[in-house]
Amino acid sequence: MLNEETLIAGAIATWNSNLDRANKLFCGLDEAALQKQVAPGRNRLVYLWGHLAATHDRMLQLLGIAERVHPEFDAIFLSSPDRASTLSPVDVMRAWWAEVNRRLDASLRELKSNDWRARHTAVSEEDFANEPLRNRFSILITRTNHLAYHIGQATLATK
């Protein structure tokens, strides 16, 4: 039977596998390719990439493991639609993506089993007492699914 550490290791391995796929995809595209839309009239790949980076940045705080690197990008990639703001140059986005994910990876490796069972910062202690599945582990699972979904969109757009 699987123990808790094995389940956590499997979830982190799945996260890392999807992150590797995202790295190969987005970092392998030039500026022109990043301007492609995932579908006609939809987000460009560069915006989708920034959206993922902003989501990963938010995970640092949501998991209670570190301060955010670039909270100022929420307004561009999480609160506003594509083309509502001027985006940073691709080389800046590459550096930001790498920095956020490097910090997140290092922090995920430091969490222990009981850390994963603890509440995430967006849930109150009272609500967590009633809903203990609103924990840090659930954030890893939902964000892994979010990453995989957008990788699928981006992959289709590059075909």
Q: Which amino acid is at 143?
A: R
Question: Which whole-number Å values give the CA distances from 39 to 21, 29, 34, 43, 44, in the listed order?
Answer: 20, 17, 13, 7, 8
pLDDT in tens, 101-139: 999 999 999 999 999 999 999 999 999 999 999 999 999
User: 40 φ, ψ to 5°?
Assistant: -55, 130
- For the domain made up of 4-158, the CATH class stated in words is mainly alpha
| pLDDT score recorded for residue 130 | 97
**What pLDDT, on the 0 to 100 scale, is given for residue 125?**
96
Q: Mean pLDDT in the chain?
A: 94
Structural domain boundaries in the chain: 4-158
| Average pLDDT of span 76-101 | 93
